[in-house]
Amino acid sequence: MAQEGGPPFPLSLFMSLLMLSSLCDCHPRSPGSIRSMAAAGHVANHTARKVSTIAAEVAGYADVAKQIIDLAVFGAAQNRSHSRLADFTDTIGNRVSGSHNLEMAIKYMYNAMAQDGLDVHLEPVKIPHWVRGKESAEMIAPRVKSLAILGLGSSVGTPPEGIEAEVLVVQSFEELKSRAREATARIVVFNQPFVSYGETVAYRAYGASEAAKVGAVATLIRSITPFSINSPHTGLQDYQDGVKRIPSACITVEDAELMWRMAQRGQRIVVRLSMGAKTLPDADSFNTVAEITGWQHPEQVVLMSGHLDSWDVGQGAMDDGGGAMISWEALSLIKDLGLRPRRTLRTVLWTAEEQGGVGAQQYYNRHKVNMSNFDLVMESDLGTFAPVALQFTGSDAAQKVMAEVVKLLAPINTTKLEAHGEGTDISPWMQAGVPGASLHVADSRYFWFHHSEGDTMSVQDPRDMNLCSALWAVVAYVVADLQDMLPR
């Protein structure tokens, strides 16, 4: 396995590996024949079979499910996914898109999964390459105070001499618009309250462009987190076309609230900002793919996944090293038990998810011709804390099948099926009608550490990862081995 500081994995060696690997699904067919198979076969079969028959078929996997659970939670594989994650993150560290560390991570995982006895190959993609550079911020009025910042992904840098400007503090986009005349030549500080990640992240994503529209020279955005110990959280921001690009960074909750209080008192606030961020040409990278080939329908696929890249802070253990590791561990558990399902079990470790699902979108573009052969796509990217339920998106008929499958998880008390599978990397498949599943975990602390220096192995619990691995493996194996594919 790769050692930190070792020689880089040569691109020529990557390409040689690719030449030896299949970059397409096992038995490609013409799109027409695939569609006719789907229409005449899979859907018709499920229509003809009663729910009770399917329930009985699924119930027949109870013993196998218990074997998987016992191996993962109590047996020889106990704590293995946690140990693998620790070895990986301690060796490689964080893995931002386009970096040497990400190259080393792909090399590491390719070798590790191959040594585990799995069929592994790499699929080439082009990914963004943004570099943070040196950065600093300091409040110089009404008093001197260093500000902890993290520049946002894709942000431009400041001029070499930096930017020194008065600050305008607002709590919403609406307030910014109402005070637009005050924003000219100012650094806009957004002190928006945390409502939920899905709602509040809009300030990180669009704050720079909204501020630039009213003449601001830079933005400092309150980190998107419900809890803080003066640590900034990074993430991707998205410039709008036709709007001037200004530097953008996140600051801590504490500093955003400090400047808000000062502003409320009518105090003049001045900040000096320096950011060396720049975007380089797109880099070569790979999605890393490992498989157990199905014995009856090798062309049909149940896909598990997590992303291998992270931001350039912390260790990327929670986001998303854990998801990547349980997706590998699930294959290991099934292999260790000598199981081989009807359909192919495939684990994909995505590259450049943090840049907007870049690697996954290129995978989808490459494989969508065989879409009707994708039975279920699964993604773990909201932590591997204690599992609570399986989230699922699919037809009513497919939901009935999955409701039976999760009953097999009674030994670990995760028999709940919830609506709406989610995940940046599997969303193109779900939007196209492929059933999708994700892991719902006890994630109340997830955004405490998300995209920050706090995302380290200290966040991870080995027993939680055992349970997540068991759930992932049972669901994937049973769906891959059922007589029929999930109905669309």
Confidence of residue 270 (pLDDT cuts 50, 70, 90): very high
- 151-170 residue pLDDT tens: 999 999 999 999 999 999 99
Confidence of residue 14 (pLDDT cuts 50, 70, 90): very low
Burial of 350 by CB count in 10 Å (0-12 exposed, 13-18 middle, 19+ buried)? buried
Backbone phi, then psi, for 30, in 5-degree steps?
-70, 150
Q: Residue 23: pLDDT above 90?
A: no
The answer for 419, left when phi > 0, alpha when psi is -120 to 50, beta otherwise, is beta
CA distances from 42 to 320, 343, 367 (A): 34, 13, 19
CA-to-CA distance for 237 and 13, rounded, in angstroms?
34
Distance separating the N- and C-terminal Cα atoms of the chain: 41
Q: Residue 18: pLDDT above 70?
A: no
Q: Is the Cα torsion angle 358, 363, 368, 374 positive or negative in sign?
A: negative
Q: Is the Cα torsion angle 471, 474, 479, 480 positive or negative in sign?
A: positive
Q: Is the Cα torsion angle 164, 165, 167, 168 positive or negative in sign?
A: negative
Q: Which two tokens stand for residue 381?
A: 């990217």
Q: Residue 2: pLDDT above 90?
A: no
Is 353 labeled as catalytic in the residue annotation?
A: yes
CB of 394 within 8 A of CB of 435?
Answer: yes
Sheet order of strands, 374-379 included: 119-131, 278-292, 343-350, 297-307, 374-379, 436-441, 387-393, 417-419
Q: Which two tokens stand for residue 267?
A: 């105090």
* Closest of 330, 320, 354, 445 to residue 128, by C-alpha: 354
Q: Show Cβ contacts of residue 332 under 8 Å, excluding neighbours closer than 6 positions.
A: 77, 80, 116, 118
Confidence of residue 52 (pLDDT cuts 50, 70, 90): confident
Write down the catalytic residue from 353, 354, 379, 404: 353
CA-to-CA distance for 122 and 280, rounded, in angstroms?
23
CB of 469 within 8 A of CB of 333?
Answer: yes
Q: Residue 36: pLDDT above 90?
A: no
Q: Is 60 helix (H, G, I), strand (E, B) or coil?
A: coil
Burial of 214 by CB count in 10 Å (0-12 exposed, 13-18 middle, 19+ buried)? middle
Q: Show Cβ contacts of residue 174 under 8 Å, excluding neighbours closer than 6 positions.
A: none
What pLDDT sits at residue 50?
Answer: 73
- 337-392 residue pLDDT tens: 999 999 999 999 999 999 999 999 999 999 999 999 999 999 999 999 999 999 99
Q: Tell me, what amino acid is at 66? A: K
- 113-134 residue pLDDT tens: 999 999 999 999 999 999 999 9
Q: Show Cβ contacts of residue 334 under 8 Å, excluding neighbours closer than 6 positions.
A: 68, 292, 340, 341, 345, 473, 476, 477
* Closest of 348, 357, 358, 368 to residue 283, by C-alpha: 358
HSE at residue 241, side-chain half, CA atoms within 13 A, is 0
CB of 122 within 8 A of CB of 18?
Answer: yes
Q: What mean pLDDT is predicted for residues 260-286?
A: 98
Burial of 338 by CB count in 10 Å (0-12 exposed, 13-18 middle, 19+ buried)? exposed
